[in-house]
Structure 1
Amino acid sequence: MTAALKPVALDAASLAEALRTAVLAQDFGATLDPQDEGRPIRHFPSIDLAVVAFPEKGTPVAANVLFSREHPQGLVADIAPGAGPVRNIRFLADQRDAEGNSIAWRPASDWSAMDWTPLAGEVGEGGGRVVAPYPASLLKLMLLAGVGRLVDQGRAGWWQALTYAGRERAVSDWAYDMVTWSSNEATSALVTLMHAAGAIRRDGGREVRNELHTLFAALGLTTLRFANTTAEGGWGNGSGSGVGQIQMTAWDTVRLLWWLDPVAPRAPWLRADAPRLSPESRNQAMHALQDQALHQVLSSGALGGVLGWVPGLPARLPSRWLMPDGGLHAGEVSLPGDLRRFATGGEVWFAHKTGNTENYTSDAGIVRGILPRRRHYLIALLSNLGSRYAPHPSCSTTWRIPALGAAVDARMATWLES
């Protein structure tokens, strides 16, 4: 790293400004939109980015910056003492129309004419409103945590047989596929488990019990919502869930990761009696996150065979997904090229979960340096920059997102390894 990149000191203000500057440096407003005849995107995209750094000496340092068409220069979240909730942002839930289509992100969408549902927060001095984009398959991180709690309560088992769509597999196997290559079938199977165990219950077509929400409330993560799934495993728009019913924000997502991270310092906002995961359930969760195959968002090693490849957060790609010729194959996902150099190189381990649809891309995880590198931080990004902005069918989003991941990691390296 050059001396010019090195900030004077790592504190909340300098971290927030570094994140804001890194986003602006990617020129997201120039992203081309194929839904608008290939012109630059009409509205600055919504980007919610949060980082928690764990210096080897000293206390954790955190920041959250948010961008949207209404805030193209970015808002810096006011985080309550002790890594508490964001205090100056009023989050609004994403929304869809009667046909189940996401409508907030169309080129001609008019936010002033839309009827928004509050998600969390109040507007304070210097704050503003932010529409929280649908998390896409990042939502599976919430379900993973919920299954872990169910197991710890003795109401399910990791090695328990669970049948869905005619297939019988262990709960741990369903969970692994749900995280590592984002299996939607595995997600549906685990949703049926939550309902069968009584952790989620519907009556008269309405959800009347949701222990995921109880868990998130006990952890102080009020913007994490996993609402209106069905006993048959439905969790998408067509089942009445999906966009507007399932919600996450970057700040509460990194705090959920903080709760999961086995080597992170104590989470200061949590009470002594806050729920915890057992070592077995934490290990199951971390095993799946660490074996993530889809390095296609903040990290981009899985896309190393795509023309025009842009390096992202420098994570090592798990070798278990590589074929003899170096191509990647994980479940229903196949990606081209000889990727073996990414399975032996890299500077960090990135235990994470991605999410991607036409309108949304997200990524959140735990970053730890591969020795002798020592950095350790959490990162979460949610955005409306989905696959419609991807330059290649194998890509999940614009190359600007992995470029942002690389820029953030470079900053963290200068702070945490100097």
Structure 2
Amino acid sequence: MNDPDLAQALRAAVQALQLHTIADPQDGGRPLRHFPSLDLAVVGFAPGQAPIAANVLFSRTRPHGWLADLPPDAGPVRGIQFLADVRDAEGVSIAWAPQSDWRALPATPLWGAGEPMRAPYPASLLKLMLAVGLAWCCQQGWGRYEDDWTFEGERRPLRDWQFDMLAVSCNRATSAAVAWLHACGAIRRAADTEVHNELHRLFDALGLPTLRLANTQPDGGWGNAAGAGVGQIQMTAWDTVRLLWWLDPDAPSPPWLPPAAPRLQPALRDEVLRGLQEQGLDTVLSSGSLAGLPGQAAGLPNRLNARWLQADGGWRAGDYALPGDLRPLTQAGELRFAHKIGNTENYAADAGIVQGIAPARRHYLVAFLSNLGSRYAWHPLASGPQQLAQLGAALDALMRDRLENCDAV
């Protein structure tokens, strides 16, 4: 399962990006004082062969990176103590400021033991966890996707709220979903304290201990101002990629789970996947939505979803409008990438299921979390530095090599 050669190649690919040279506008445009934090995991599937997997991590304390120890059954990562991200009393994310001193910051354990790694906030990648929670609650009979749900005066079927949350990363739809989870009893609070969280029970049953959506509010609040957000909502790459494994109907059965482990009914699972497959924002590991920006680096070579094309070839996905004539990219591309991005000033993340379009044959899962957000964007419309897309292209080239240039045994 754990492929050290693949892990070393991924580490080398990250090192080749020269991330330490990225300019920080919060520090007068100087190169980064501290190496950024990255958490990158992949799992590949080739017919007739055992899955291959790797997880590499980087941080200011380990700028050369290190390889996670993955158990033979693909269970929880070993040898790493993940620490929660942190914000100050005003609700501001402070770990990534140029002058931040990690020795003075709280070291709140998230999970595990060993080499410390402060896990970056997942940004809107959290909406993947939330969608799984909606599907699971529907399976428990607490609601149905076709039921209408009214939020802030707008009445829509629950599935439509979820779709917008995933496909165009709508924050208002996310708040509607959070409010629904509280209303149906999946998340409960008493005396301003969370006392029950059905999502956490599910993730624990799935052996995904670093997936946490804590301290959200009945009114739909899920950000820093609501008491959730940074330090309360957490994901790591290895647990995220394993959540995708659990969701992927074309992947082999997750080997770390017993036969009686929870499973989503196909129709509910497919509703989650629909929001990923109809993704309108290819702006992190894949960069097709940004192709109209002169000089944009090519990323993971997926085919854009024509759903979001405008008549002139421009791109509009929810509140996001991007320039250029992107019509050719809805026909080009050798991969389908069912995925969800996350992006804020301080954070960039991307995770999804990659499948080749014939004659391409590769099938793999990827999850990436980092503190390389829009603060480092090379263009006002970009999600971060050019290195995000370059990493997507590099890791796909590695996976193509591993999965398509091999013979089944």
What is the root-mean-square deviation of aligned Cα atoms in Å?
0.8
Aligned to 1:6: none
**Correspondence for 1:283 among 241, 257, 270:** 270
Stretches of structure 1 that go unaligned for 5 or more consecutive residues are 1-9
Aligned to 1:62: 53
1:284-363 correspondence to structure 2 within 5 Å:
284-363=271-350
How far residue 209 of structure 1 moved from its aligned partner, in angstroms, is 0.3
Asked if 1:213 corresponds to 2:194, the answer is: no
DSSP 3-state at the match of 1:43: coil
Q: Which moved more, 1:43-52 or 1:74-83?
A: 74-83
Aligned to 1:399: 386
Aligned to 1:198: 185
For 2:90, the aligned partner's letter is E
Aligned length: 405
How far residue 11 of structure 1 moved from its aligned partner, in angstroms, is 6.3
For 2:393, the aligned partner's letter is A
Structure 2 CA distance, aligned partners of 1:303 and 1:105?
A: 26
Once the two structures are aligned, what percentage of the paired residues are identical?
59
The CA deviation string for residues 92-139 of structure 1, in whole angstroms up to 9 with x for no partner, is: 00000000000000001000111210001111xxxx110000000000
Aligned to 1:263: 250
Aligned to 1:80: 71
Asked if 1:380 corresponds to 2:362, the answer is: no
How far residue 81 of structure 1 moved from its aligned partner, in angstroms, is 2.0
TM-score where L is the length of structure 2: 0.98
1:138-287 correspondence to structure 2 within 5 Å:
138-287=125-274
Structure 2 CA distance, aligned partners of 1:53 and 1:142?
A: 22
For 1:46, the aligned partner's letter is S
Q: Would the aligned equivalents of 2:2 and 2:70 in 1 still touch at CA under 8 Å?
A: no
Structure 2 CA distance, aligned partners of 1:392 and 1:330?
A: 19
DSSP 3-state at the match of 1:366: strand
TM-score where L is the length of structure 1: 0.96
Q: Would the aligned equivalents of 2:352 and 2:365 in 1 still touch at CA under 8 Å?
A: yes
For 2:3, the aligned partner's letter is A
**Correspondence for 1:110 among 101, 111, 123:** 101
Q: Which moved more, 1:328-337 or 1:241-250?
A: 328-337
Aligned to 1:7: none
For 2:15, the aligned partner's letter is L
For 1:294, the aligned partner's letter is L
Stretches of structure 2 that go unaligned for 5 or more consecutive residues are none
Aligned to 2:85: 94
The CA deviation string for residues 48-82 of structure 1, in whole angstroms up to 9 with x for no partner, is: 00000101221111110000000001110001220
The CA deviation string for residues 164-198 of structure 1, in whole angstroms up to 9 with x for no partner, is: 01100001100000001100000000111111110
Asked if 1:71 corresponds to 2:62, the answer is: yes
DSSP 3-state at the match of 1:48: strand
For 2:111, the aligned partner's letter is A
Structure 1 CA distance, aligned partners of 2:208 and 2:2?
A: 23
The CA deviation string for residues 200-231 of structure 1, in whole angstroms up to 9 with x for no partner, is: 00000000000000000000000000000000
Q: Would the aligned equivalents of 2:43 and 2:366 in 1 still touch at CA under 8 Å?
A: yes
Aligned to 1:365: 352
How far residue 372 of structure 1 moved from its aligned partner, in angstroms, is 1.2
Structure 1 CA distance, aligned partners of 2:106 and 2:337?
A: 38
**Correspondence for 1:17 among 5, 8, 18:** 8
Q: Would the aligned equivalents of 2:82 and 2:119 in 1 still touch at CA under 8 Å?
A: yes
Structure 2 CA distance, aligned partners of 1:230 and 1:64?
A: 33
Q: Which runs of 4+ in 1 moved over 6 A?
A: none
